[in-house]
Structure 1
Amino acid sequence: MRALEGIRVLELGQFIAAPFAGQLLADHGAEVIKVEPPEGDPMRQWGIQLKEGQSLWWPVIARNKKSVVLDLRHPHGRALARRLALASDVLLENFRPGVLERLGLDPRSLLEEKPSLVVARISGFGQEGPYRDRAGFGSVAEAMGGLRHLVGFPDRPPPRAGLSLGDTLAGLFAAFGVLAALRVRERTGRGQVVDMALTDAVIAALESVLTEYSATGRVRERTGNTLPGLAPSNLYPTRDGRYLQIGANADGPFSRLCQAMGRPELAEDPRYATHRARGAHQAELDELIAAWTQEHALEELDRLLARHGVPAGPVNTAKEVAEDPHFRARGAVVEVETPLGRLLMQGVVPRLSETPGGIAWAGPSLGVHTREILEEVLGLGEEAWAELVAERVVAWAERA
């Protein structure tokens, strides 16, 4: 048994945010019906690296989903999508505001016909507000929501993180919103609309940045590898040319770091004995620690600090994450059979003790579940199926 077994989700989103939310729900057992256009979802082509001309992102973001091809440009395709929505528990989409309505899937009419439906809508700026109709991608949300301003060093332009953080955050919050709405439905029998903006998701992750500005008028700026007043917490160079992140900014971990360094007296030094004192002497403390770490190889330091209970860890590449025995043991990194062979990908999170999620299959071939879903969910007969195929409203594959 998986936690979301019995929940059917119709996913109409493309690119990243809604598909990532759908991935999370599917990982925990929801039946996610992924509707694709005849040419396939754009994610089948996205990603920095390809194998045999195919995306290496698709096997991850579409795993555990059922691929159904419907041409929503055709009236019959839109009619089938509406029927599927009304046969589902959740409708998940990330079109620009107004597109869902033009497809005949406006939430108001859907909820009138099926009051228990949950409609999760992800867009750049949300369904309301002055920016409602603006196009928005995750990178734009990261910039406008204040995240990008905080990344990098103060003397350089703010870089991107190398991942689609805005989309991922929005997908995560949308999945959380779906679960909250389903919990309410258990009590009331009624669904609702979950309105998730990419910018809202980024702003929600700003910790105390806005409160600091409100209280002091000061704007937090880029500070590179450190946070002002938080010491020691930095990347420190090692003898073999790598970097180790050490986070020993609390009194206990700092004392243990001093023991590991063979400098226990530093923990009693008035310049470093308290959190505020260490923050005031951050630069000199970082120099002192860096001089020590440069005398040792990274693996040696990592083992030493682990023995002393100091929070620390190397800056890993994908190769090192993939080969780390801890991540393999926890299932954070798993090997999955895909049409492109056995590939590594991230595992299912979070881990549930009684109803763990899992990966039943990687991203499916285009339209492989079309006939199955239209027959089993909508009761579509042979004659109707043949007509839809003839009109090129649907498409399907014979193999997974």
Structure 2
Amino acid sequence: MYRLLSDIRVVEGASFIAAPYCTLLLSQLGADVIRFDAIGGGPDYRRWPLGPGGDSFYWEGLNKGKKSVALNLAMPEGRELAIAIVTAEGKDGGIFVTNYPETGFLSHDSLCSVRPDLVTARILGHADGASAVDYTVNCAVGIPYMTGPEGDEHVPINHVLPAWDLLAGSTAAVSVLAAIEYRKCTGLGQHIRIPLSDVAAATLGTLGQIAEVAISGADRPKFGNSLYGAFGRDFGCADGKRVMIVALTSKQWKALIAALDLETPIRALEAELGISLESDEGARFLHRERIDAIVEQAVARYTLAALSQRFKSSGVCFGVYRTVQEALTDDPSFVESNPIFANVEHPSGCRYPTPGFPASFSSEARRNPYPAPALGQDTEEVLTTLLRVPSAALASLHDQGVIRLPDRLLSPS
């Protein structure tokens, strides 16, 4: 948690990953983030994984450090309050992140009629407004047909990481900061559209995968756990543990050969093939089956502990395959002694390691991450402070079902 963006106020009206992840990043950098929630929670409020009491660890993770205002958006009065929060005065405000539809009461044009300098960042599925989520975008751009065991070309394999959501959220955060700078110079707001499908397409294009298919006219086949275009694969140790070994550079390749004493068999293979594996990264991939057999036999002679010692002393690039549970218990640097984590108690009543912003800044000390809000816990503060709603009117709004206040505010004095 930092205070680098303490001079900006961001309003979030969103659910699921991409938009909440955008505002989470801004919040962890110090922005004051106010999210308006449906009374009783939005569509992701109980999304798995769940805690013992049924609370969503997913929701707590994405919304830590934010303020929550509970509104009944089905009522005109609730929608009016949401608009008022988004367009509230102040040079620090007028920043809205959402995945609501482009039309309706939260359209950019409608909001701009109240606050002309508004910056709206809107996450969409597709650029034409059609619905999509991470998994439906991922299946449409070809990644599942490049993933999985070699030979199963017609069996798509989904991944568990919502990569396009996370990249879209990061893109949105960068875009918001750019729009803020533009507004400082020009006084103008703008509507930023971030379609998940465009984020995915741009990423494949940036990594050369679109050019590869456009020029060759053929899709990339599956290569299992082999690293495409270089040397890298999983190998089994004598004790059944598995490691991922990678040699992208000549230095990494030489370190691997030295650590496993493979100078003789590798030199013989190079002589047979008439190539230099040290200087040609692509050759290591083309001849991976021959290389893999040599490395596999060598790795199988060592336990994981013995192999790790040899690899570390030689500078080999490798990683150990672990479950999340094993990562938590076996490697203190992953969470236990990692300064980005702190044990925080959340509204679920559970205390668990909670990450802050993953980058560090030399100009400012890291603060512990804040917990997620209880649903609607900041309704009173936001309405009375930001919108100057008289305290006497809060209970009336609650009784009408427009807002939800904490029980302490509803007790007789």
Matches within 5 A, 1:190-209: 190-206=188-204, 207-209=207-209
TM-score (ref. length: structure 1): 0.90
What amino acid maps onto 2:160 in structure 1? G
Task: Quote the Cα distance in structure 2 between the aligned partners of 1:41 and 1:352.
Answer: 34
Task: Quote the Cα distance in structure 1 between the aligned partners of 2:315 and 2:140.
Answer: 39
Task: Quote the Cα distance in structure 2 between the aligned partners of 1:370 and 1:221.
Answer: 53
SS of residue paired to 2:253: helix
Q: 1:92 to 1:196 in 2, by over 3 A?
A: same
| Counterpart for residue 33 of structure 1 | 34
The total of aligned residue pairs comes to: 389
Q: RMSD between aligned alpha carbons?
A: 2.1
Name the stretch that deviates more: 205-214 or 72-81.
205-214
Task: Quote the Cα distance in structure 1 between the aligned partners of 2:369 and 2:334.
Answer: 20
Partners of 1:260 and 1:304 within 8 A in 2: yes
Per the TM alignment, residue 228 of structure 1 is displaced from its structure 2 partner at its CA by: 4.3
Q: 1:229 to 1:341 in 2, by over 3 A?
A: closer
Q: 1:304 to 1:333 in 2, by over 3 A?
A: farther
SS of residue paired to 2:120: strand
Deviation track 1:304-361 (CA, whole Å, cap 9, x = no partner) reads 2122111111122212332422234443444222232320233322222224564542
TM-score (ref. length: structure 2): 0.88
Deviation track 1:287-318 (CA, whole Å, cap 9, x = no partner) reads 11111111212232223212211111112221
Per the TM alignment, residue 154 of structure 1 is displaced from its structure 2 partner at its CA by: 4.0
Task: Quote the Cα distance in structure 2 between the aligned partners of 1:193 and 1:220.
Answer: 37
| Counterpart for residue 91 of structure 1 | 96
Matches within 5 A, 1:345-384: 345-355=354-364, 358-384=367-393
Partners of 1:27 and 1:357 within 8 A in 2: no
Task: Quote the Cα distance in structure 2 between the aligned partners of 1:195 and 1:354.
Answer: 33
What amino acid maps onto 1:150 in structure 2? M
Matches within 5 A, 1:237-316: 237-265=236-264, 268=267, 270=270, 271=273, 272-275=277-280, 276-316=282-322
Task: Quote the Cα distance in structure 1 between the aligned partners of 2:53 and 2:14.
Answer: 25
Task: Quote the Cα distance in structure 2 between the aligned partners of 1:51 and 1:307.
Answer: 44
Task: Quote the Cα distance in structure 1 between the aligned partners of 2:363 and 2:150.
Answer: 47
Deviation track 1:112-144 (CA, whole Å, cap 9, x = no partner) reads 432332101001113xx3xx2x32111101111
Per the TM alignment, residue 366 of structure 1 is displaced from its structure 2 partner at its CA by: 1.2
What amino acid maps onto 1:325 in structure 2? P
Task: Quote the Cα distance in structure 2 between the aligned partners of 1:220 and 1:191.
Answer: 42
Please list every run of 5 or more consecutive structure 2 residues that lacks an aligned counterpart in the other structure. Answer: 409-413
What amino acid maps onto 1:93 in structure 2? T
Q: 1:108 to 1:222 in 2, by over 3 A?
A: same
Partners of 1:20 and 1:171 within 8 A in 2: yes
| Counterpart for residue 411 of structure 2 | none
Q: 1:351 to 1:316 in 2, by over 3 A?
A: farther
Please list every run of 5 or more consecutive structure 1 residues that lacks an aligned counterpart in the other structure. Answer: none
